């Protein structure tokens, strides 16, 4: 009798398995249709990026964007949405007005942008420019008494190299093959540090301090990257919770900078007009992340987590479209897609848009410390053990081409399976290589499985990253749709796994 009972049970199991696979296929098809054909990604991008402006940490633009994102998550029916404080951050800064122009020997508007925490000029000032023709800091004292109420720049001994490579680039088959072939056991020859670059940066810092002490109005700076109308502009001071008093510091287009330098070297006096008005915000100095979730429904698994995230903060030179408005927009679209297709996950799905990434991953580091870290072992605690996987997006607007496995060989067959439906969209590459510089590292540091996607670089390194060109018009809508579709599908795939994502034991 047992033989005859066993056969129907096997048949029933096969039928149930086939039904589950059909349901899974149907859900993945719905996710793909919603993500590729019903996308709202560029509409989300407009409101997050254009409508809110730059998102420098703790600035009004950051809080406007954070509150907009929270409200949007609420409108889609997510739960536990919040601007979650994670600890002390420091002051905020905002640029209110800026104008710089050559007035003598002729008039010309100049291309430039102030660095963070420049204090301002108290109105329009007209000032002569002094060129500090020094090789190192030993030459600075020779300018003592000559810089009061002047605008200052350091002599440069380089020239603008002609570059015949395109600004925008997609990863080639050769590039992807090299990533796939990466062997973590092979010796790595890492290039040494650029001593000349460090020495130049040190001299600029010392010259700025000297100019400030001498009563100068402003320091101008540049690099050969600041060409063709693009200015890369970041910190005017090193980040600390107690921001020190600093000095007016303007990043100038290389071509404008060198025009001024050549005239001064030929003993032609140069005068500039400069107006700079800024505001410091010190009322609330806590840091915040935006969080929200779709609650799990399975009695045994609902306390487990699948997390996705991207950093929300940006620099001040533009609206931070590719760094990292793109990642934030994609992750918001992922949550919209999952709600639109009626996904009822077994595990809880949580989104986090991080603050303070640009100066050291502060938002994600503190989130991981507050939620997931055992303070004694500095590995993950019981709450951290409930995290199945964290997925991060922060390499610009380019489409997903694969994923960095962070050395996690056990995760490789999992992602191979997940990528299979997206080979036609150009996504299939798996590399054991680590990648750095963004928020997955906060999770990886304590042994939690966290991954950053491989993306086409587009103009990220050449034109938009931390520059005045990081705007909505440099976003690729089709690429963002592809990324959101893949990540939404991966969330679904992670949820239907009976086990959590394999993890590496960190020594």
* Architecture of the structural domain at 36-90+284-496: 3-Layer(aba) Sandwich (3.40)
Domain with CATH 3.40.630.10 in the chain: 36-90+284-496
* CA dist 7 → 12, 21, 110, 502 (Å): 9, 21, 82, 34
Provide, rounded to the nearest whole percent, the portion of the chain with pLDDT above 90.
Answer: 88
Question: In this predicted structure, what is the pLDDT of residue 176?
Answer: 98
Residue 232: both structure tokens together: 């890369």
Q: How far apart are CA 227 and CA 255, in angstroms?
A: 7
Q: What is the pLDDT of residue 244?
A: 72
Contact status, residue 331 vs residue 308, Cβ threshold 8 Å: yes
Using a CB cutoff of 8 Å and minimum separation of 24, what contacts does 457-460 make?
Answer: 457/169, 457/170, 457/171, 457/395, 457/396, 457/398, 458/168, 458/169, 458/170, 458/322, 458/396, 458/397, 458/398, 459/167, 459/168, 459/322, 459/396, 460/322, 460/323, 460/395, 460/396, 460/397, 460/398
Strand partners of residue 281 = 92
Burial class of residue 467 (count of CB atoms within 10 Å of its CB; 0-12, 13-18, 19+): buried
The pLDDT of residue 250: 98
φ/ψ of residue 63, rounded to 5: -70, -35
Phi, psi of 80 (to 5 degrees): 55, 35
E-assigned strands of 295-362?
A: 305-311, 348-354
Which are the contacts of 84, defined by CB distance < 8 A and separation ≥ 6? 288, 289, 290, 291, 367
Q: Using CB atoms within 10 A of its CB, is residue 497 exposed (0-12), middle (13-18) or buried (19+)?
A: middle
Helix, strand and coil content of the chain, in percent to the nearest 5, comes to: 40, 20, 40
Residues of the chain where predicted confidence (pLDDT) is lower than 70: 1-19, 190-193, 505-507
Task: Count CA within 13 A, CB hemisphere, residue 222.
Answer: 31
Sheet holding 450-455, edge to edge: 79-88, 286-294, 348-354, 305-311, 387-392, 450-455, 400-404, 429-431
Count Cα atoms within 13 angstroms, Cβ side, for 53.
Answer: 12
Q: How confident is the model over 369-426, as pLDDT tens digits?
A: 999 999 999 999 999 999 999 999 999 999 999 999 999 999 999 999 999 999 999 9
pLDDT value, residue 1? 45
Nearest-CA neighbor of 42 among 308, 335, 333? 333
Query: Phi first, then psi: what are they for 467, rounded to 5°?
Result: -125, 175
Q: Determine contact, residues 364/320, Cβ cutoff 8 Å.
A: no
- Choose which CATH entry (3.50.30.30, 3.40.50.2000, 3.40.50.300, 3.40.50.720) describes domain 92-281: 3.50.30.30
User: CATH 3.50.30.30 spans which residues of the chain?
Assistant: 92-281
CB-facing half-sphere around the CA of 216: CA atoms within 13 A: 29
Q: What are phi and psi of 115, to 5 degrees?
A: -80, 165
Query: What is the rounded distance in angstroms from the CA atom of residue 15 to the CA atom of residue 4?
Result: 17
DSSP strand pairing (92-104 vs 108-109): antiparallel
Tokens matching residue 127? 């000032």
Closest CA to 158 of 226, 204, 224, 203: 224
CA distance 411 to 414: 5
Asked if 318 contacts 129 with a C-beta cutoff of 8 angstroms, the reply is: no
At 347, phi and psi to the nearest 5?
Answer: -95, 165
């Amino acid at each position: 009798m047992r033989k005859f009972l066993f056969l129907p049970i096997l048949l029933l199991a096969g039928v149930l398995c086939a039904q589950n696979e059909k349901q899974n296929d149907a859900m993945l098809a719905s996710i793909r249709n919603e993500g590729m054909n019903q996308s709202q990604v560029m509409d989300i991008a407009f409101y997050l990026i254009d409508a809110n402006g730059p998102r420098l940490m703790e600035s009004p633009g950051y809080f406007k964007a954070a509150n907009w994102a929270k409200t949007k998550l609420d409108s889609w029916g997510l739960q536990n949405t919040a601007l979650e404080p994670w600890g002390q951050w420091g002051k905020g800064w905002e640029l209110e007005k800026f104008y710089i122009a050559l007035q003598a020997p002729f008039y010309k508007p100049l291309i430039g942008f102030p660095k963070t925490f420049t204090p301002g000029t108290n109105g329009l000032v007209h000032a002569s420019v002094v060129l500090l023709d020094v090789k190192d800091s030993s030459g600075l004292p020779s300018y003592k008494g000559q810089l009061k109420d002047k605008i200052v720049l350091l002599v440069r001994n380089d020239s603008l190299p002609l570059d015949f490579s395109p600004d925008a680039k997609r990863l080639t088959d050769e590039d992807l093959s090299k990533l796939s072939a990466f062997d973590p056991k092979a010796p790595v020859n890492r290039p040494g540090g650029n001593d000349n670059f460090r020495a130049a940066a040190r001299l600029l810092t010392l010259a700025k301090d000297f100019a400030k002490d001498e009563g100068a109005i402003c320091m101008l700076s540049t690099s050969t990257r600041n060409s063709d109308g693009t200015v890369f502009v970041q910190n005017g001071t090193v980040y600390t919770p107690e921001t020190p008093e600093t000095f007016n510091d303007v990043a100038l287009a290389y071509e404008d900078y060198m025009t001024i330098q050549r005239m001064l070297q030929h003993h032609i006096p140069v005068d500039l007009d400069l107006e700079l008005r800024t505001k410091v915000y010190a009322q609330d100095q806590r840091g915040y992340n935006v969080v929200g979730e779709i609650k799990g429904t399975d009695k045994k698994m609902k306390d487990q987590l699948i997390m996705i995230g991207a950093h929300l903060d940006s620099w001040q030179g533009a609206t931070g479209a590719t760094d990292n408005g793109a990642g934030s927009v994609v992750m918001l679209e992922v949550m919209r897609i999952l709600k639109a297709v009626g996904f009822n996950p077994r595990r809880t799905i949580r989104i986090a848009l991080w603050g303070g990434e640009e100066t050291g991953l502060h938002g994600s580091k503190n989130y991981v410390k507050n939620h997931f870290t055992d303070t004694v072992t500095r590995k993950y605690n019981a709450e951290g053990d409930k995290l199945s996987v964290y997925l991060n997006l922060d390499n610009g607007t380019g489409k997903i081409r694969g994923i960095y496995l962070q050395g996690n060989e056990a995760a490789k067959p999992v992602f191979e399976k997940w990528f299979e439906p997206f080979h036609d969209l150009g996504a299939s590459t798996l590399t054991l290589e680590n990648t750095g510089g963004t928020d997955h590292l906060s999770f990886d540091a304590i042994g939690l499985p966290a991954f950053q996607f491989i993306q086409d670089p587009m103009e990220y390194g050449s034109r938009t990253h931390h520059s005045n060109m990081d705007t909505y018009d440099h976003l690729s809508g089709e690429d963002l749709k592809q990324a959101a579709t893949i990540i939404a599908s991966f969330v679904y795939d992670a949820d239907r796994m009976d086990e959590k994502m394999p993890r590496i034991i960190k020594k």
